[in-house]
Amino acid sequence: MIVLEAVSHDFDGRPVLDGIDLALPERRIGVVGANGSGKSTFARLLNGLVVPRAGRVLVDGVDTRKDIKAIRRKVGFVFQNPDHQIVMPIVAEDLAFGLKARRIPKGEIDARIDAALARYQLDHLRERPVHLLSGGEKQLVAMSAVLVTDPEIIVFDEPTTLLDLRNRNRVAAAIEELAHPAVVVSHDLDLIAGFDRVLMIEEGRVAADGQPGEVLRFYRERMR
């Protein structure tokens, strides 16, 4: 479970998050907020991409300040733009990248890659150059590259924002089918409407926290 204790953060002296205390035990948690509200920074705190200026972020009791390798093994992160995440030129090479760093045997790497690509019917893309993929295919490859590392929790930062409707639906279905707990930051309110819990972040603080129907209704009213 992820726990935030009195977490505050700023960039160049500008407050971004202020005094957040949360425990996140639910299977599906959505996060909403206006642009600049602090929600992307919040997401990055959860796997140590950002370390808070004050307070602590704990994942199963491990402080993100103290053991970043352990945190990254526990919490996978899927970026809004898969081009910021995909690092290798060929699909299979990208999925293998994180596994090789962990010294996993080649046979197991190949088996994990095959299973991850089969999950999203991407087998035919195994040897495809990444630059030839569609936006939706890239996002699913980015998800697959996280899944092969077998994290305990996955954090998504705006996973459908850059996609057309068909690919948005493919990614939404992929998130829904995950066995892993997930925290999803999104402007796509339909994507998170069926989640267990939704947080609304406003001016760096949690302005609403509860059932999706209630929080999303409050959020819509605030955005009028």
Q: What are phi and psi of 78, to 5 degrees?
A: -115, 120
Q: Which of 100-104, 144-148, 198-202 has the highest mean pLDDT?
A: 198-202
Domain count, the chain: 1
Q: What are 156-186's pLDDT values in tens digits? A: 999 998 899 988 999 999 999 999 999 999 9
* pLDDT of 95 strictly over 90: yes
What is the structure's pLDDT at 103? 85
* pLDDT of 102 strictly over 90: no
CA distance 189 to 208: 15
Query: What are the structure tokens assigned to 50, written together?
Result: 């950002």
What is the structure's pLDDT at 115? 94
Q: What are 46-93's pLDDT values in tens digits? A: 999 999 999 999 999 999 999 999 999 999 999 999 999 999 999 999
* DSSP secondary structure, 47-114, as one string: TTSS--SEEEEEETTEETTT-HHHHHHHEEEE-SSGGGT--SSBHHHHHHHHHHHTT--HHHHHHHHH
What is the structure's pLDDT at 21? 97
CB atoms within 10 A of CB 215: 22
Q: What are phi and psi of 23, to 5 degrees?
A: -120, 135
Residue 139 maps to which CATH number? Answer: 3.40.50.300
**Longest pairwise C-alpha distance within the chain:** 54
Q: What is the mean pLDDT of residues 3-8?
A: 98
Buried b or exposed e, range 36-72, using 16+ CB within 10 angstroms: ebbbbbbbbbbbbbbebeebebbbeebbbeeeeeebb
Q: What is the mean pLDDT of residues 129-135?
A: 93
Is residue 129 packed enough to be buried (19+ CB in 10 Å), middle (13-18) or exposed (0-12)? exposed
What is the structure's pLDDT at 192? 97
pLDDT band at residue 130 using 50, 70 and 90 as cut-offs: very high
What is the structure's pLDDT at 16? 95
Mean pLDDT value across the chain: 94
What is the structure's pLDDT at 98? 87
pLDDT band at residue 101 using 50, 70 and 90 as cut-offs: confident
Residue-number span of the structural domain to which 67 is assigned? 2-222
Query: What are the structure tokens assigned to 78, written together?
Result: 């899927």
What's CA 183's distance to the chain center, in Å? 6
- Share above pLDDT 70 across residues of the chain, in percent, rounded to a whole number: 100
Pick from 140, 152, 138, 144: nearest CA to 113: 144
Is residue 101 packed enough to be buried (19+ CB in 10 Å), middle (13-18) or exposed (0-12)? exposed
What is the residue whose two structure tokens read 């309110």?
A: 189
Opening angle at CA 31, ends 69 and 49, nearest 5: 25
Q: What are 70-83's pLDDT values in tens digits? A: 999 999 999 999 99
